[in-house]
Structure 1
Amino acid sequence: MYFRPPKFITKLFPGFIWSFPEETDSVFLTFDDGPNPEVTPWVLEQLRKYNAKATFFCLGKNVEMYPETFKMILDEGHAVGNHTYSHQKGWSMSVGGYIQDVDLADTFIHSTLLRPPYGRIKPSQAKVLAERYKIIMWDTLSRDYSRTLSRRGCVNNVIKVLRPGAIIVFHDSFKAEKNLRYALPRVLDYIQNVKGYRMRSIEY
């Protein structure tokens, strides 16, 4: 079972980027929650094999702890985005508290791209942040973080709904590592060798 945001949610936030429907031959891989010194280098190696570029939505606290791993992402030519400093759920925070956490992350990440953790952000928070950030959501969620989802199910969550312009979410984290190590090489192969799509980073 894959997750794609329902249409009423996307209509509530029309200024968010959910996909790139104008694209005809490209998809956009994204990785949340890193950098991770054990998982992220492996992800970069897999991407390199397919000449694929991706966007890494990083936690500020992880960039602070692992600056060398963050530098590896940049050196490989990938894009980076802000995923807050400490993986906050916007729904349970004040506007000021959430903005402060995002801004703290920006002191380490320096990106105009933002992805709210869990996709949970209040309209009041989004209104303020949209003045400085492009808010990037997704239309294809691998659910690699799920402890109950099979490794094959993680692959199927992506390939069964894959279409040009899709923004696909994986996670370069310990929690997702088991499913990710199985799913990512198979998804990369399917995207390139079965569908023939390019894999590009998100640029604004």
Structure 2
Amino acid sequence: MFIEQPPFIYRLLFPGGIWRMPSKEEKVIYLTFDDGPIPEITPWVLDVLDQYNIKATFFCVGDNVRKHPEEYAEVLRRGHSVGNHTFNHIQGLKTRTANYMKNAELASQYIDSPLFRPPHGHLRLPQFFRLKKNYHIILWDVVTRDYSKRMTPEQVLDNVKDYTRNGSVIVFHDSLKAEKNMKYALPLAIEWLKEQGYVFKTIEEGLAQYDHETIEAIVTNHHNSENDNRELARDYR
């Protein structure tokens, strides 16, 4: 569970980071896709989303956008949101802050978005606070682990079923590494989520529901304790 759904202690490290956005009016989830766009996978994901009439958020690697501008343009043309995932998918904990910021800034030349997601979810605190001046830092409530060779396609689907709750930000990957697991799990996950009554929104649609103070309150309440997490989930169902 530590990997699939980060514990509140880890979330405390990044005050103001967005992990989850529950709604009082409806059961909502946010599908997100990391590491694209690439021609081998991203068009398939777009077709699946079209099939179910769903909009999602793609956290794109800047160098992939540079290499595959047609795929990036198609993501936007079909009405999805995008976010910055650095230019080279670099690991924040292994990178000096100045170099990390330069890499994110380079990606911003190709990706026009107020959203940022750090690769692997790893950031040094100075990186986090500098990025937060210009971006909403989007993390996650559920990571499917579709990228892992240790996971079967069925286990990836089970991660969605076991950990999703109102307001979950769910991570899939439009990458070659995730292809087998993701192609099995994504359509079945969407069908299951629809059966459970979830509404699908982009991250930007979710943020638009709240003013800054409300977002901060949700994040703060969500971090207090596991009991508070359960209460918040109950209150927003």
Whether the TM-score (by the shorter chain) exceeds 0.5 is yes
Cα distance in 2, alignment partners of residues 16 and 145 from structure 1: 23
Q: Does 1:175 align with 2:164?
A: no
Cα distance in 1, alignment partners of residues 11 and 197 from structure 2: 28
Counterpart residue type for residue 78 of structure 2: E
- Deviation of 1:13 (Å): 1.1
Does structure 2 retain, via aligned residues, the 8 Å contact 1:52–1:198?
no
Q: Secondary structure at the match of 1:109?
A: coil
Q: Secondary structure at the match of 1:121?
A: coil
- Deviation of 1:72 (Å): 0.6
Counterpart residue type for residue 117 of structure 2: R
- Identify the range of structure 1 (61-70 vs 9-18) with the bigger mean alpha-carbon deviation: 9-18
Q: TM-score, normalised by structure 2?
A: 0.84
Cα distance in 2, alignment partners of residues 6 and 38 from structure 1: 34
Q: Which has the higher helix share?
A: 2
Q: TM-score, normalised by structure 1?
A: 0.97
Structure number with bigger Rg: 2
Partner of 1:165: 167
> Kindly, what percent of the aligned residue pairs are identical?
45
- Deviation of 1:3 (Å): 1.2
Partner of 2:226: none
Deviations 1:147-185 (A, max 9, x none): 111110000011122211000000000000000110000
Does structure 1 retain, via aligned residues, the 8 Å contact 2:30–2:167?
yes
Gaps of 5+ in 1: none
Q: Does 1:4 align with 2:1?
A: no
Calculate the aligned-residue CA RMSD, in Å: 1.1
- Deviation of 1:9 (Å): 1.0
Gaps of 5+ in 2: 208-237
Cα distance in 2, alignment partners of residues 12 and 65 from structure 1: 34
Q: Secondary structure at the match of 2:29?
A: strand
Does structure 1 retain, via aligned residues, the 8 Å contact 2:4–2:163?
no
Partner of 1:78: 80
Counterpart residue type for residue 72 of structure 2: F
1:96 to 92, 95, 98: 98
Q: Does 1:130 align with 2:125?
A: no
Partner of 1:197: 198
Deviations 1:13-32 (A, max 9, x none): 12100001335321000000
Partner of 1:114: 116
Partner of 2:21: 20
